[in-house]
Structure 1
Amino acid sequence: MNEITVPAMGESITEGTIFKWHVKEGDSVNIGDVLLELETDKVNLEISAEASGVVQKILRQEGDNVTIGEVIGQISPEEGVGNEPAVPKTAEVPVPAQAESKAAPVEQPKSPAPPAESGDGSTPPASPAARKLARERGIDLDQVQGRDPIGRIYHEDVKNHSNGGSKTTATESKSVAPAVASSAPAENPAKPTERQRMSRRRQTIANRLVEAQHTAAMLTTFNEVDMTAILDVRKRRKDAFKEKHDVSLGFMSFFTKAVVGALKRYPLLNAEIDGEDIILKKFYDIGIAVSAKEGLVVPVVRDADRLGFAEIEKEIVDLAGKARSNTLSLSELQGGTFTITNGGVFGSLLSTPILNTPQVGILGMHKIQLRPVAIDAERSENRPMMYIALSYDHRIVDGAEAVRFLVTVKELLEDPESLLLEG
C-alpha cells in the first residue's frame, strides 16, 4: 500500500488546505497523475501520484487543513485491488473485536476517547503545527476540543481554543445548534446574506496586513511626479521598443529603475530588522504587487539593478501572467527587499500602502491625471501628474531620509535619461 502524503513545500510553509481532489476512491492512477490541489499561504500546489494503482482511501477531505508529512490517502497496487485492502482489516480489526465482543458492542473503542482527552493524563494526537501553537500560547492539548471525528487536534482547533471558541466547537455543540437555528428565521428575508469561508491565501493576506500594522512603526510620506518626460519617451520609442524586444514599454520599468537608484543612495530602505540588528541588503530584488483572483501577490524581480528596461518589462509580464494563472512558484514570491504597488491601474488617485513585512519600505503608484501646474510666476500648464506614496518603518528609517528617498525617485522619473546612469 502506497501512502499519499503532504510534501515539503518550502521552509516557511508548514501546512496547507486541500483545495480540490482530482480523483475519487476507486479511480486508477499512473505515476505523475495529479491527485489533488493543495492551497498554501502563498501558492497552490499540485500533488502527483508517486506510484501507479487504485485510489483505495481518501483520508482527508476538501477544505481540511493538513500538515507536512501527513497521510491524506492511500493507493493500492492495481494487481492487488481485490485483496490488498482486506489484509490490514482482517489482521487488525478482529484482534480488539474478539477481546471485547462478549463484554461490549463494537462501538466500545469510541467511548474511552473523551476521558482520555479530558483528564487521564494522556496526550491527544495532534499535528505538529497544533503542538507548536499550543506551546507558544501555553495551552494544554488535553483541554482542546477538536472537530476531527477520529480525535486528532489541528492548528485551527488550538487557535479557536485560545480565542475562546473551543467550548462552542465541541462541548456546547448541542446547545449552540438550536440557538443558531432559532435565530436564523429572525433575519430579514428582504436582506439576504451569504457566508463564504476565506481562502487560505486571503487569511494569510489578512494576517500579514494586521501583523505589519501591529509590529512596524509605519508612516507614509507623499510627493507628486510630473510624468510629461516619461510619456514623451514612451510615445517616441514605444513602437521601436516593441519591435526590437517583443514587449511593450510600460511604466513599471521606469519606476523600478528609479527605486533602485534611490535605494542605492538610502540603503536603510533596502534593509530589514532582525531582533536588535539591522540587516542591510546589498542586492535589489524588487517585489511587484499583482492583483490575482485569490488576492494580492508580490512576485519578485531578481537583481533589478542588473536588468535593462526590456528585461524588467519581460520579467514583470511573465510574473504577472503566472500570478493570474496561479502558476507562480514559491521561489518567485520569496526574498524581496522592497515593493512597488500600482493602485493607479484601478483608478486610485492617492493611498497609503501597507508594508510587505519584513521589508521596511513600499512605494505606491497612482493614477496619472491632468492637473494645472505652475511653470513660473506667470504661466501654468495642464500636466500629467501622479501622486506617489512611500510607506516606511519609522523604527529604522527617519522621516528626513524617507522624504529624501521619495524626492530622489521623483527627480529620476522626471529626468528619464538619468535612469540610464543610475542603472
Structure 2
Amino acid sequence: MSEIKVPAMGESITEGTVSRWMVKEGDTVNQGDVLLELETDKVNIEISAEESGVLEKIIRQEGETVEIGETIGTLSAGAGGGSTPAASEPATSESKSASAPAPGAPVAPATAVAAPPEPSDSIKTASPSARKLARERGIELDQVQSKDPIGRVYQDDVKSHGSQPSTPAAPPAAKAPASAPSAPAASGTTFSKPVERQRMSRRRATIAKRLVEAQQTAAMLTTFNEVDMTAIMDVRKRRKDKFKEKHDINLGFMSFFTKAVVGALKKFPTINAEIDGEDVVLKKFYDIGIAVSAKEGLVVPVVRDADRLGFAEIERSIADLASKARSNTLALSDLQGGTFTITNGGTFGSLLSTPILNTPQVGILGMHKIQLRPVAIDAERMENRPMMYIALSYDHRIIDGSEAVRFLVTVKELLEDPESLLIEG
C-alpha cells in the first residue's frame, strides 16, 4: 500500500484545498492517471498516481484544506486484487452507517462508531487551518464543538468557539451535544429574506488576505497624472496592419506602457525595489507583472526581462500569459518574482482608481479608460484629445512623494513621445 501525499508546489505555497477527486474509492487506476485536482492560491495542480493499483481510501474530502506532505489517500499496489475491493467495502458501509444517524443531533454514539478509523488524538481530527488558528488563539481542540457529522473540527468551529464567552468553562463533556444546535448561528449573520451563501475559493480568500496585508503593512499613497494618447494612437493606426502581418500579433497599448515603465524605473531605481527587514533591495532587472482578470480572481503573471524585449515580444508574452490565466494553466514560475506591476482597469471602463500594491513590490501603475476630453493646446486654442488618467500607488516608507511624482511624469513624457521609448525603454 502506498500513500498519496500533497507534493511540494513552490516556496510560497504551504497548503491547498482539495478541489475534486477524479476517482472513487475502489476504482482501479494506472500509473500517471490523474487522481485529484488541488486548488492553491495561485494555480490548480493535478496529482497523478505514482503507480498502478486500486484507490483504497480517500482521507481528505473535497473542500478540505491540506498541507504540503500530508497524506490525503491510500493506493494499494497491483491491478486490483481480490482483497482490495473487500477491504474497501466495509469502510464504505461503515461510513454510511456513521452518516445515517448524523441528522439526529442527540445520537452521540453514532459519532463514536465513526471514530475508530480515525486516530484517537483530537488534533488528528481537525483540519490544518483549524489547528493553526487554535494554536494562535491558545484554544484546546478537544474543547471545540464541531458542526461536522463525523466530528472533524474546521476553522469556523474554532472561530465560533472563540466568540462564545462561556467556552472557557470545561464542565462535563455531556453538555457538548446540547450546545451544538446553537453553533451554526454563531458562524454567520442570519437573514430574514432569501440569500445564497458561497464559500470563497482559495484564490479569492488569498487575494482578500494579501490586499488587507498590503494596506496594513505598507505606507501606501497614490499620485495621479494624465496622458495625451494622441501620438500612441497615431502610431498604432499607421503601423498596426504591418505589425500584425510581420509578427502575427496585434500592437496593443500594453507594450507602450511596459516600455515606458521600464524607462522610468531605470531613472528611479528605488521604485523597482523591495524592503527586506531594514534593508532596501534594489533590483537590477525588470520583470513586469501584468494584472489579468480570470474566473477565480485577479492574477499577476510576469513578463521576464521586459527591458530586453521588443514590442512584438512583449505583446506576445502578455497574450500568452493572459490566455494561460483564463484557462487556469499558469505555472508557478509564471507568477513569481515580479519587480513592478501594471494593472489596466480601463478595460472594464474605469476612469480613475487607486491600485493596491502587489507586495513585496513597492510600486504599481494603474491604467484607465481613454476618453475624449477638451484640452487647452495653447492660450487661445482648445482641442478634444484622447486622454487617460494614470495612477501610481507606492510605498512611502522608501519612496518620497517627489520621487513618485517625477516617476509618473517620466512615464507620461515617454508615452506622449513614443519614439523616445526606443531609446529610453
- TM-score higher than 0.5 here? yes
Shift of the 115–54 alpha-carbon distance from structure 1 to 2, 3 Å rule, reads closer
Shift of the 243–167 alpha-carbon distance from structure 1 to 2, 3 Å rule, reads farther
Shift of the 163–417 alpha-carbon distance from structure 1 to 2, 3 Å rule, reads farther
CA distance in 2, matches of 1:302, 1:15: 27
1:363 equivalent in structure 2? 365
Which piece of structure 1 moves more, 195-204 or 157-166?
157-166
CA distance in 2, matches of 1:221, 1:179: 44
CA distance in 1, matches of 2:162, 2:238: 61
CA distance in 1, matches of 2:318, 2:232: 19
Structure 2 residue 207 is the aligned partner of structure 1 residue 205: yes
What percentage of aligned pairs have identical amino acids?
76
Which piece of structure 1 moves more, 271-280 or 222-231?
271-280
Paired residues of 1:67 and 1:127 also in contact (CA < 8 A): no
Paired residues of 2:256 and 2:421 also in contact (CA < 8 A): yes
Per-residue Cα deviation, 1:165-190 (whole angstroms, up to 9, x for no partner): 9969x77752316969xx97x723xx
Shift of the 380–418 alpha-carbon distance from structure 1 to 2, 3 Å rule, reads same
1:348 equivalent in structure 2? 350
Q: Which amino acid aligns with 1:230?
A: I
Which piece of structure 1 moves more, 192-201 or 21-30?
21-30
Paired residues of 2:56 and 2:84 also in contact (CA < 8 A): no
1:100 equivalent in structure 2? none
1:273 shift after superposition? 1.1
Paired residues of 1:20 and 1:38 also in contact (CA < 8 A): yes
Which piece of structure 1 moves more, 148-157 or 403-412?
148-157
Which piece of structure 1 moves more, 159-168 or 14-23?
159-168
Per-residue Cα deviation, 1:286-326 (whole angstroms, up to 9, x for no partner): 00000000000000001111111111000000000000000
1:64 shift after superposition? 0.8
2:18 equivalent in structure 1? 18
2:68 equivalent in structure 1? 68
Q: Which runs of 5+ in 1 are unaligned?
A: 91-103, 118-122
Calculate the aligned-residue CA RMSD, in Å: 3.3
Paired residues of 1:364 and 1:389 also in contact (CA < 8 A): yes
1:326 equivalent in structure 2? 328
1:97 equivalent in structure 2? none
CA distance in 1, matches of 2:270, 2:177: 52
1:126 shift after superposition? 6.2
Secondary structure at the counterpart of residue 210 of structure 1:
helix
CA distance in 2, matches of 1:290, 1:68: 27
CA distance in 2, matches of 1:171, 1:201: 35
Shift of the 135–86 alpha-carbon distance from structure 1 to 2, 3 Å rule, reads same
1:22 shift after superposition? 1.1
Which of residues 265, 283, 286 in structure 1 aligns to 2:285? 283
Paired residues of 2:4 and 2:72 also in contact (CA < 8 A): yes
Structure 2 residue 56 is the aligned partner of structure 1 residue 50: no
Q: Which amino acid aligns with 2:55?
A: V
1:174 equivalent in structure 2? 180
Shift of the 172–255 alpha-carbon distance from structure 1 to 2, 3 Å rule, reads farther
Shift of the 134–255 alpha-carbon distance from structure 1 to 2, 3 Å rule, reads same
2:35 equivalent in structure 1? 35
Shift of the 240–22 alpha-carbon distance from structure 1 to 2, 3 Å rule, reads same
1:151 shift after superposition? 6.7
CA distance in 2, matches of 1:128, 1:116: 14
Which of residues 241, 244, 250 in structure 2 aligns to 1:242? 244
Shift of the 164–17 alpha-carbon distance from structure 1 to 2, 3 Å rule, reads farther
1:21 shift after superposition? 1.1
Paired residues of 2:275 and 2:281 also in contact (CA < 8 A): yes
After TM superposition, the score normalised by the length of structure 2 is 0.84
Runs of 4+ in 1 over 3 A off after TM superposition: 84-90, 104-111, 113-117, 123-168, 170-173, 177-180
Q: Which runs of 5+ in 2 are unaligned?
A: 91-108, 169-175
Shift of the 420–290 alpha-carbon distance from structure 1 to 2, 3 Å rule, reads same
CA distance in 2, matches of 1:173, 1:385: 62
Structure 2 residue 192 is the aligned partner of structure 1 residue 187: yes
CA distance in 1, matches of 2:154, 2:52: 30
CA distance in 2, matches of 1:140, 1:239: 68
After TM superposition, the score normalised by the length of structure 1 is 0.84
Paired residues of 2:392 and 2:404 also in contact (CA < 8 A): yes
Q: Map 1:400-419 onto structure 2 (within 5 A).
A: 400-419=402-421
Shift of the 79–290 alpha-carbon distance from structure 1 to 2, 3 Å rule, reads closer
CA distance in 2, matches of 1:178, 1:284: 50
Shift of the 64–147 alpha-carbon distance from structure 1 to 2, 3 Å rule, reads farther
Which piece of structure 1 moves more, 126-135 or 387-396?
126-135
Paired residues of 1:65 and 1:154 also in contact (CA < 8 A): no
Secondary structure at the counterpart of residue 377 of structure 1:
coil
1:229 equivalent in structure 2? 231
1:275 shift after superposition? 1.5
1:88 shift after superposition? 11
CA distance in 2, matches of 1:386, 1:8: 44
